[in-house]
């Protein structure tokens, strides 16, 4: 009954869920196949763009910082040169007092560390006085000042012409140990009463000027330097080295010359991984990509599940369509929500017709009220259903008006969350089975009738033998009586009385014989009744004795008291006993010595695995069953007798099995081994069991 497993009934008016699913899958397949690659491509492009833009942004930020640092450095350099100029011009106040000049120059050298040396020169630019920076070795200690004076004189010439401070081009001043520094001179003309009286020349050490720049980034994240127009570096500051990528150049315009300041960020071109922002974006991209891949895999799994589901649905539909068993699902109101083709074919109505409201069209009109009552009972919440494997039998009506018996197995329909939604029924058309059963019953009855007739035929000869004696006795008493009447005398009345008494006795004896046969032949109504085993034996005993007497067989009855009770069809079981007894008598007729011809009818109560039984045994002292005969003994029409029908044992076994019992036989060991053709066994025991019927008593 796997078909009756709890499944949700398909929605009403929806004959083919599987077909719809298949159509939906087919329609969605093409766009979905394109959708995923498109999504992946879009994601790739978007992520690449995002990463590139992030990198660009980072670059722009770095460049911007370099520009800012350069601007700040430029303004600081301007400020310092301005301060230097102001300081130098302050020295001119007392040009004639060398003492004062030296003091002022010393102060200025201490304040402005970038100034390496200050000279006081006359109008011809000849050095009169010079002061060296206290912070470093004298500038021209290793190289004569005169050799380095050309640029200074050019600047002083220009200063003389314009009567304003002029800067010289920078030049390299060698120092001890092969080193050297780039130095730029500034020549400030000194005037008195509007006349040029001399010059103040200061040598500005460019690296020191850079060192004095107070910009936070310089020396930490940016390298600051002076470069020439061709990029040659003149001086640099700080311990850090620029990366050469984010460079900002600014020009410092000084009277007489220009200086190019370069700010070079330590940072190189932003790389993909160490950069936090890019790493974040990259991580997100990878995450997105993983999600897409997972989604893809999930999609594929779903597609697979869908295809499996569609297959399963198609298989279920094919199975339901090909089933010969009718399937019907009803909701909790008893309305049909589903019927398979077999059910429709059985009753001759379409699913739509079956789903209409009102009593189902396959209910016979005369039974509708009864069926409605039964259905109402079954639909009552909590009503007990018949166990599914037992089912119940009822009658349905085909569209053509034919009534036919059906077997219905019903089980509750429970959905996925355990809710009772209705009932599923398997409906079997058992009309063919009923026809076959009727046919077999008729055949059985015919066979039994034949067997009975055969027994009757046999009995006819017995009867003639049995009735012969009383009849001939009656005849001779009648003849004697007639003779007495012909010549009456004093004793005639007495003798007549005796003769008539004998006649009555003999007639009664004949009557008994006839009654016993009549009792057997008369067809009793076939019904099961409870009888005691001894009653069964007693019923057949007159006939058995009749047969036995003819063959000189003694009949022993062995029923252990109290006689057990059985519930049987008496006629049938009596016939079984009679058949076995007849076989037993016949078996002893040929070779068994007269003294040993004993037929025993035995009844015992036995305990078995499945309850108590009553065992009936019929024992004879015949030749036993030969090995080649044994396997075919219960085959219909098998016989070893010239006039045998061969039906007896096969019918007997059928009757016993119909009563729930079993029949077998056993060869008995010989008490007196005899010589002879079949003298191996000491007879045969045929036995059969019937279930014991317990007398009704108080419930246990």
Contact 175, 137 (CB under 8 A): yes
- Helix, coil or strand: residue 235: strand
Contact 201, 165 (CB under 8 A): no
What is the nearest approach in angstroms of ligand ADP to the Cβ of residue 516?
Answer: 21
618 closest CA partner among 662, 673, 651, 665 = 665
Sign of the Cα torsion 405, 409, 414, 418 reads positive
Distance CA 699, CA 693 (A): 15
7 closest CA partner among 320, 329, 318, 427 = 329
- Helix, coil or strand: residue 221: coil
| Helical spans, DSSP H, in 92-236 | 98-111, 150-162, 206-211
Distance CA 133, CA 113 (A): 7
Per DSSP, what are the bridge partners of residue 192? 195
- To 5 degrees, how large is the angle CA 198–CA 200–CA 206? 150
What is the nearest approach in angstroms of ligand ADP to the Cβ of residue 664?
Answer: 12
Which of 282, 633 has the CB closer to ligand ADP? Answer: 633
How far from 654 is each of 367, 441, 659, 663, CA to CA, in Å?
Answer: 37, 12, 9, 9
Binding residues for ligand ADP, rule: CB under 6 A, are 579, 583-584, 587, 620, 622, 625, 629, 633, 638-641, 644-646, 648-649, 684
Q: Say if strands 598-608 and 554-559 run parallel, antiparallel, or are unpaired.
A: parallel
Distance CA 214, CA 263 (A): 14
83 closest CA partner among 108, 104, 107 = 108
Distance CA 92, CA 172 (A): 28
Would you say how long the chain is, in residues?
Answer: 700
- Helix, coil or strand: residue 335: coil
Cα 342 to chain center, whole Å?
Answer: 30
Sign of the Cα torsion 282, 283, 289, 293 reads positive
H or E element that contains 554: strand 554-559
- To 5 degrees, how large is the angle CA 19–CA 20–CA 25? 100
């Amino acid at each position: 009954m796997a078909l009756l497993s709890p499944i949700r009934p398909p929605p009403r008016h929806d004959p083919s869920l599987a077909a719809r699913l298949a159509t939906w899958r087919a329609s969605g397949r093409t766009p979905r196949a394109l959708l995923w690659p498109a999504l992946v491509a879009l994601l790739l492009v978007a992520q690449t763009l995002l990463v590139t833009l992030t990198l660009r942004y980072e670059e722009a930020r770095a460049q911007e910082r370099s520009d800012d640092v350069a601007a700040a450095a430029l303004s600081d350099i301007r400020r310092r040169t301005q301060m230097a100029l102001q300081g130098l011009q302050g020295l001119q106040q007392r040009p004639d007092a060398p003492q004062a000049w030296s003091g002022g120059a010393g102060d200025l050298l201490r304040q402005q560390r970038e100034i390496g040396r200050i000279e006081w020169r006359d109008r011809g630019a000849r050095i009169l006085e010079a002061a060296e920076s206290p912070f470093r070795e004298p500038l021209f200690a290793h190289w004569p000042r005169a050799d380095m004076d050309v640029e200074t004189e050019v600047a002083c010439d220009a200063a003389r012409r314009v009567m304003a401070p002029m800067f010289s081009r920078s030049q390299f001043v060698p120092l001890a140990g092969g080193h050297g520094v780039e130095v730029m001179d500034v020549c400030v003309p000194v005037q008195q009463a509007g006349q040029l009286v001399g010059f103040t020349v200061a040598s500005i050490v460019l690296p020191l000027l850079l060192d004095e720049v107070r910009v936070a980034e310089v020396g930490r994240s940016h390298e600051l330097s002076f470069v020439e127009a061709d990029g040659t570096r003149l001086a640099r500051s700080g311990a850090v080295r620029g990366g050469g990528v984010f460079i900002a150049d600014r020009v410092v315009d000084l009277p007489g010359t220009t200086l190019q300041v370069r700010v070079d960020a330590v940072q190189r071109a932003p790389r993909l991984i160490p950069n936090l922002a890019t790493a974040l974006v990259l991580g997100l991209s990878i995450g997105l990509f993983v999600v897409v891949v997972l989604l893809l895999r999930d999609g594929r799994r779903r597609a697979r599940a869908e295809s499996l589901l569609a297959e399963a649905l198609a298989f279920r539909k094919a199975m339901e369509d090909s089933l010969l068993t009718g399937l019907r699902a009803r909701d909790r109101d008893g309305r049909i929500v589903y019927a398979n083709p077999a059910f429709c074919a059985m009753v001759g109505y379409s699913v739509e017709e079956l789903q209409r409201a009102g009593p189902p069209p396959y209910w016979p009109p005369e039974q509708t009220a009864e069926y409605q009552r039964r259905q109402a009972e079954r639909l009552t919440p909590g009503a007990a259903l018949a166990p599914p494997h037992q089912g119940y039998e009822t009658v349905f009506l085909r569209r053509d008006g034919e009534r036919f018996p059906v077997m219905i197995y019903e089980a509750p329909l429970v959905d996925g969350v355990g809710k009772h939604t209705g009932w599923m029924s398997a409906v079997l058309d058992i009309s063919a089975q009923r026809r076959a059963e009727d046919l077999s019953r008729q055949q059985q009855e015919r066979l039994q009738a034949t067997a009975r007739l055969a027994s009757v035929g046999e009995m006819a000869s017995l009867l003639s033998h049995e009735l012969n004696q009383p009849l001939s006795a009656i005849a001779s008493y009648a003849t004697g009586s007639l003779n007495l009447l012909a010549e009456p005398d004093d004793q005639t009345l007495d003798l007549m009385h005796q003769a008539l008494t004998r006649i009555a006795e003999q007639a009664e004896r004949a009557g008994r014989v006839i009654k016993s046969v009549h009792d057997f032949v008369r067809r009793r109504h076939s019904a099961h009744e409870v009888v005691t085993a001894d009653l069964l034996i007693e019923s057949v005993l007159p006939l058995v004795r009749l047969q036995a007497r003819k063959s000189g067989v003694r009949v022993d009855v062995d029923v252990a008291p109290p006689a057990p009770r059985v519930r049987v069809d008496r006629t049938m079981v009596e016939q079984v006993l009679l058949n076995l007894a007849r076989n037993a008598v016949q078996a002893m007729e040929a070779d068994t010595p007269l003294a040993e011809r004993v037929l025993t009818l035995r009844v015992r109560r036995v305990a078995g695995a499945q309850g108590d039984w009553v065992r009936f045994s019929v024992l004879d002292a015949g030749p036993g069953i030969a090995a080649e005969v044994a396997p075919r003994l219960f085959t219909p029409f098998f016989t070893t007798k010239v006039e045998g029908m061969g039906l007896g044992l096969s019918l007997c076994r059928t009757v016993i099995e119909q009563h729930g019992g079993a029949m077998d036989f056993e060869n008995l060991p010989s008490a007196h081994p005899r010589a002879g053709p079949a003298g191996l066994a000491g007879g045969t025991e045929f036995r059969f069991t019937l279930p014991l019927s317990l007398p009704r008593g108080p419930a246990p």
